[in-house]
Amino acid sequence: MKELAERAVETARLAGADYADVRVLTVHDQQIYVQDLSPKAIQDMTDAGIGVRVLKDGAWGFASISRHDKRSAEKVAREAVAVAKASALTVWKDKVTLAPEPAHKDRFETKVKIDPFSIPIQDKLAILLQINRTMLGVGGIVKAFGTMRATLRHQFFASTEGSQIETLITTVNASYMATAAGKGDSQTRTFQEYPMNKGWEHILAQKLEENARRIAEEAVAKLSAAYPAEGKMDLILNPSHLSLTIHESVGHATELDRVLGYEANFAGTSFVTLDKKAAKFRYGSDIVNFVADNNLPGGLASTGYDDEGVACQRWDIIRNGIFKNYSSTREVAPLAGYKRSFGSARADSYASMPINRIPNLSLMPSPKSISPDDLAADVKNGVWIEGRGSWSIDQRRLNFQFGGDMFYEIRNGKKARMLRDVIYTSITPEFWGAVDRISGRKYWEARGFRNCGKGEPMQVAQMTNGGPWIRVRKIKVLRGKK
């Protein structure tokens, strides 16, 4: 890998690149899908290639190839320079200038106690099939799905600035879902994906099999649950649910490339415009603190370095409700006055150019030992929401609408009867401004995503969006059914 990377960097330099970086990458991905009692797919995938990114006359060029040989490395390096020359035809001002980053020579590897690829496929299948068997044994369940995935991403990064960084990132996840049908309705309940950069030990810790019957029984119970009353009411949201709200309304909104218009044609822009930093924009209530931390143990964006060789960091996004910082790449950081990138450039394969991605972004817990039940204690009329459901947000990340996976009514401070088909809608700063209580550290969870879509060509990225339980006052609740 090192030799190929060096060859490509040198070829790009000789071809006239002002700057070049190269990622030589091999991804080993094992995915298992089970539907009912059928092992639907057992896939062992290896995707390998070289991606070369160059700057020439202030413009980008990128070329990639699914091969690992010297001739291919040279070919794509020269092609990237040619592409950059074409890009430069459009760049008569605003030439790309990269925020400085020291040259790093390093190696980073995910801490793994049990190699997930060492676990026989038979054992993984046995777990998933047993879970499905258990769920299908519950009366009313018509469908069971289960999945397990392990990925090892081995990358060698090198640049004309002298960086040479080898990373080995291991990610695992498992989830399953039961569908109940009857009484003219169909309801699902999911043991939700909880991916982390860890080994098989993370799968073992989730107690997958122990929860299967409960998940199935809850899916069936949802068929008889009441529909919510509509109107403004208080919400109690759990970390699994909240991870998506955080991701969509804070994570994407504070990506600096969106703010600057780089995603205007696809993923959208952001309401968190550059003036909001100096204006100390109030994003949420005083108790709302968001921290980005790409060194979070087990975090999906904890990779040692990002995909342009910037060391992973920890920084404030929102402190005491006030907006503080964006996530950034080396290209966009200087455009907002930053002297160094926060290290949020990620590419989903050797064939993609790194783009600004959400870091490991978490809502900080309360320093007090507040439990979820404490949050509900003085709620007269509210809804308790667990897990992720339907989700949608406008392109500037303001108007959003979320569902969930499990709902309960809250009556006079107590969790009461089960509900179904609950959705709620709000405007981002109004929502975070209405957060009036947050649970303690004991209830904080590092939930995350492996499928965050952005960019053209579309790329998927992974990041952790952790959080505690929260209480939000007077949010508009709707019934997701006619």
The nearest distance, CB 381 to another protein, in angstroms, is 21
Which listed range, 163-171, 177-185, 235-243, 313-321, lies at the site for another protein (CB under 8 A)?
Answer: 177-185
* 406 lies in the site for another protein, by CB under 8 A: no
* 265 lies in the site for another protein, by CB under 8 A: yes
Which listed range, 115-123, 322-330, 338-346, 379-387, lies at the site for another protein (CB under 8 A)?
Answer: 115-123
Nearest CA among 482, 477, 471, 481 for reference residue 229: 477
* 103 lies in the site for another protein, by CB under 8 A: no
Q: Write phi, then psi, for 90 (nearest 5 degrees).
A: -100, -5
Which CA distances in Å does 255 have to 151, 237, 240?
A: 26, 24, 22
> How many CB atoms sit inside 10 A of residue 367's CB?
9
Type of residue numbered 355: I
Name which of residues 370 to 389 contact another protein (CB under 8 A). none
Which residue in the set 60, 156, 176, 432 belongs to the binding site for another protein (CB under 8 A)? 60
Q: Which is nearer to another protein, 267 or 312 (CB)?
A: 267
Q: Which is nearer to another protein, 212 or 422 (CB)?
A: 422
Locate 371 and state its tokens: 């439990």
* 209 lies in the site for another protein, by CB under 8 A: no
Which residue in the set 334, 413, 440, 480 belongs to the binding site for another protein (CB under 8 A)? 480
Following DSSP, what letter does each residue of 143-175 receive, concatenated? EEEEEEEEEEEEEEEEETTS-EEEEEEEEEEEE
The nearest distance, CB 149 to another protein, in angstroms, is 14
Total residues binding another protein (CB under 8 A): 87
> How many CB atoms sit inside 10 A of residue 466's CB?
23
Which residue in the set 2, 14, 38, 100 belongs to the binding site for another protein (CB under 8 A)? 38
Q: Is the dihedral of CA 284, 288, 292, 297 positive or negative?
A: negative
Q: Write phi, then psi, for 60 (nearest 5 degrees).
A: -90, 145
Locate 447 and state its tokens: 């939930």
Q: Which is nearer to another protein, 38 or 371 (CB)?
A: 38
Describe the strand order of the beta sheet including 322-323 as a list of residue ranges: 322-323, 314-319, 290-293, 361-363
* 221 lies in the site for another protein, by CB under 8 A: no
Q: Which is nearer to another protein, 61 or 466 (CB)?
A: 61
Locate 287 and state its tokens: 């108790």
Q: Which is nearer to another protein, 87 or 327 (CB)?
A: 87
Name which of residues 121 to 140 contact another protein (CB under 8 A). 121-122, 125, 129
Name which of residues 341 to 360 contact another protein (CB under 8 A). 351-353, 355
